[in-house]
Structure 1
Amino acid sequence: MHIALRSFTALVILFAITRILGKKQISQLTFFEYITGITLGELAGFISTDLEAHYLYGLTAIAVWFLVPFVVELFTLKSLRLREWLEGRGTVFIQEGKVLEDNLKRERFTVNELLEQLRTKSVFNVADVEFAMLEASGDLSVLLKSENQPLTPKHLGMRVAPDRETKAVVIDGNIMDEPLAAAGLSREWLHTELEKLGVTLENVFIGQVNAYGQLYVDLYDDKLQVPQQTDMPLLLATLKKCEADLTLFSLSTASPEAKAMYEQDAQQLRRMIDQVEPILKR
């Protein structure tokens, strides 16, 4: 019972220390943080199982190993030199498409390990890489050559709708009121949309709303097919039909005034369609 109590106390202390030191302590470990994490774990095991040693000795050691890294982190925020000394610098492995063998040897990195790291970045051909650097955290950053980079709408001169955060409004059949309110929607709206889709709230595993008020649901019952949203495509088709009608009216009328009016309206509608089409096609 005594060991269980000591272990639980050590667990609570370690959890609190990790929360204070921040997420960086468990995501991107530098050399200093790596040593600190191992030592704190050893000390926690020591105070949990070594019944002959005084409990306060272990707590004192943990306090020292917590305070020193915490103070050092505060100093590294203001000192670039100290930051580089403690955290290290990145090492360039590939520059201008050429592998720097000396840098690989300095970091004790084999060619196989380099290729493995590149594959984790979905790069299977070294010739496609313009620049690659091993960061201080141990992660490999890769820049592809211009001709091998993914094609984006910007390259094609296309306008796309801005992306915003999607809100999870239903999780495990329960309505999430806070994300729903953040999206400017209500429970009544959600129930109405679910009725349109023909599904019940209890059968929804997850429901998300995008920035344009479209609801996506994934059901517990995978055999049920959820109908696709047709409001936006239908609106786009209606706008294009109106533009075609205006163009047709301008061609069929004999009045110059009416012809000019229809052509002007068709051009204005065309400009409006160009603005909203990226949104309505989402």
Structure 2
Amino acid sequence: MPYYLTHKNVYKVVNYFIMKNSIKILFILIITISYFSCHNSDTNDDTVNIDPLEYYEALNVSYGSDSDQKFDLYLPANRSVETKIMILIHGGGWTSGDKSDMNDFKDYILQNLPDIAVVNMNYRLADDITQPYPMQINDITTVVDYLKNKQDDYVISDEIGFIGASAGAHLSLLWSYAFDTYEQTKMVCSIVGPTNFTDPAYLDTTDPVLQEILDTYGVDASIEFLEEVSPYHQLTVNAPPTILFYGGEDPLIPTSQGIFLRDKLVELGVVHQFTLYPDEGHGWIGLNLLDTTIKLHTFIDTHLE
């Protein structure tokens, strides 16, 4: 998975996991992080009268009764009702992963896009008993509603963006295209996210890895159900600006997942940007990582700030 440039060329490479089977993803992360003044840990976030002139941080804010229903909140100093929110959605094949996997994205935004609030969320994980849909979509809705209800306390806008990685990218796209009732989403980013479970690359596959992905999200499901949970089939002319990044040698996400969605975005006239790195897999570093950094930063600047 891509991550971004650091300040004054000081950076390090870090690994984190976003899919099952411990797939390593490399990121570039700034070594020196600004020291922030306000920090709350493991809180229900009942705080009121937060000073909008000061930076505010609350970790593990509960938004439901399940232990996975928590998010980390980062509010910039000098914010106003115009301050937009970036929501980060981790990967992990819908059955694993943690919001900490997205800390590199969070750190980059806080350091380089300091006028944006950040929410880094966990969601309930699927297992043999509990299916990912609609549970995980419902969790995103609950977080968005929570933020909307806390607008006055936080002093923020109700306009949001999404950055999702792999399974988190799928959830980000699906929610933005099909469940954003009030059209709050101003941009959505998919980094190697599944988009269409009716793609022959999945339905006709004999590859056990691809079959495992499809089984997780709808074993023996009808085509109607697979369309319902596929961002490709939920895309309309009203979709928010969308930026997509894919690797041509990705063993988990067929290239067609990005290309077909790009073609439909073109057909419907939705603002978008698509990048395919032909020789990359389920993550990349080096010059392609730099390219991703620049493009995503610019896209956020244009559509969210």
Give the TM-score normalised by the residue count of structure 1. Answer: 0.19
Asked which structure has the greater CA Rg, the reply is 1
More helix as a share of residues: 1
Structure with the greater relative contact order (CA < 8 A, sep ≥ 6): 1 or 2? Answer: 2
Give the TM-score normalised by the residue count of structure 2. Answer: 0.18
More strand as a share of residues: 2
